[in-house]
Amino acid sequence: MSLFSVNWLAVAACVVISMVSGMVWYNPRTFFTIWWKGIGKSDTQDPGAGGSMALTWSLTILSSAVQAAFIAIAVNIAIGATRGNPLLVGPATGFALWLGIVAPTNLVNKLFAGHGLTVWAIEAGNHMFNFILFGLVLGAWR
């Protein structure tokens, strides 16, 4: 499997899913306030201050695209190896990648940054949700 076997429309759909889920996940009515305080920010600090939002959003979109492309490769490999149902293998592959790579890496980063388990749970939870959805989309839309 290679990048040539990736359904790029499905990857684009995953990027959109990632952006929408992030808007909901980090909404003030859901996890934003707890997360914001957990990373040491005050209520008076502007989330957009202190950096280039164009760069932040560009790299966020690029990161989502890279994640989705490589999850697509992993899903294709897993479906080929197991000959399983893509609607089951896709999300399971996304979850396995999250559990084995993203969750532990993010945990170490959060603990050494002093952000604790709450921030880790919020951030890792968003990644888990996205990886499972990516796997579902990429498994179904091959």
On the question of pLDDT at 66 being above 90, the answer is yes
Percent of the chain with pLDDT over 90: 86
Q: What is the pTM of this model?
A: 0.92
On the question of pLDDT at 12 being above 90, the answer is yes
Average pLDDT, the chain: 94
Quick one: pLDDT band at residue 3, thresholds 50, 70, 90?
Answer: low
As a three-state string, the secondary structure of the chain is CCHHHCCHHHHHHHHHHHHHHHHHHCCCCCCHHHHHHHCCCCCCCCCCCCCCHHHHHHHHHHHHHHHHHHHHHHHHHHHHHHCCCHHHHHHHHHHHHHHHHHHHHHHHHHHHCCCHHHHHHHHHHHHHHHHHHHHHHHHHCC
pLDDT in tens, 81-124: 999 999 999 999 999 999 999 999 999 999 999 999 999 999 99
> Residue 10: its pLDDT value, please?
97
On the question of pLDDT at 4 being above 80, the answer is no
On the question of pLDDT at 2 being above 70, the answer is no
Q: Is there a contact between 75 and 90 (Cβ–Cβ < 8 Å)? A: yes
> Residue 142: its pLDDT value, please?
80
